[in-house]
Amino acid sequence: MTDWNDHVERVLLSEAEIKEIIEKLARKIENDYSDKENIVLVGILKGSVTFLSDLMRALRIPAQVDFMRVSSYGDATTSSGNVNIILDINRKNLPSENLLIVEDIVDSGRTLKYLVTYLLNKGAKSVRTVTLLDKPDRREVDYTPEYVGKQIENHFVIGYGLDYGEKYRTLPYVGVIKPELI
């Protein structure tokens, strides 16, 4: 039987480590938003689903949840920089809403840089981003997320929502994929 655990070279973040990171992020986020603000967590499908579902339950302030889906043409390990919106949010009260984009990982920075500008132009009151992982060495555009769970080196990682060719999202931890599989 295929076991995706065998496709992992090493575990980068265990389930316990992820939990700790998310608790810290939640406390920071709670601290930064006033309790009168309308907060909407905007998960970027599909990679952020696992992170979003844990983060939203760790947050002790009210927040709504919505989703977007984007595609950036490229192969499985790189993105081309052309960001396409496949599923958009459709909200009635955007001018009163503070959007917090929830992303799995920031690489070139193109996806988030594009989305922040897009959502501000669409009329959101504010737009910030939280990412579980960040690979700052891979940055191609000037973009810094407000909340970063953990900075990592330039490895291709899988699990906890992150995929390689749509596989491995269901692994409960973040691991480095065996290089021979790429």
Exactly one of 107, 134, 137, 163 is catalytic; which is it? 107
Q: How do strand 38-45 and strand 64-72 relate by DSSP bridges?
A: parallel
Q: Which stretch binds ligand IMP (CB under 6 A): 14-22, 31-39, 57-65, 104-112?
A: 104-112
Q: In terms of CB distance, is 72 or 126 closer to ligand IMP? A: 72
**Residue 84: both structure tokens together:** 């396409």
Locus of tokens 């970027």: 44
Residue (of 107, 109, 115) closest to 86 by Cα position = 115
Binders of ligand IMP among residues 148 to 167 (CB under 6 A) are 156-157, 162
CA-derived radius of gyration, the chain? 16
By CB under 6 A, residue 50 contacts ligand IMP: no
The secondary element (H helix, E strand) that includes residue 57 is: helix 49-58
The nearest distance, CB 164 to ligand IMP, in angstroms, is 6
Please pick, from the candidates 22, 104, 171, 175, the single residue that binds ligand IMP as defined by CB under 6 A: 104
Compose the 32-51 pattern: x for residues touching Mg ion by CB under 5 A, - for all others.
---------------x----
Rounded Cα distance between 82 and 60, Å, is: 36
Tokens of 105: 């990982």
Active site residues: 107
Binding site for ligand IMP (CB under 6 A): 47, 72, 79, 103-111, 156-157, 162
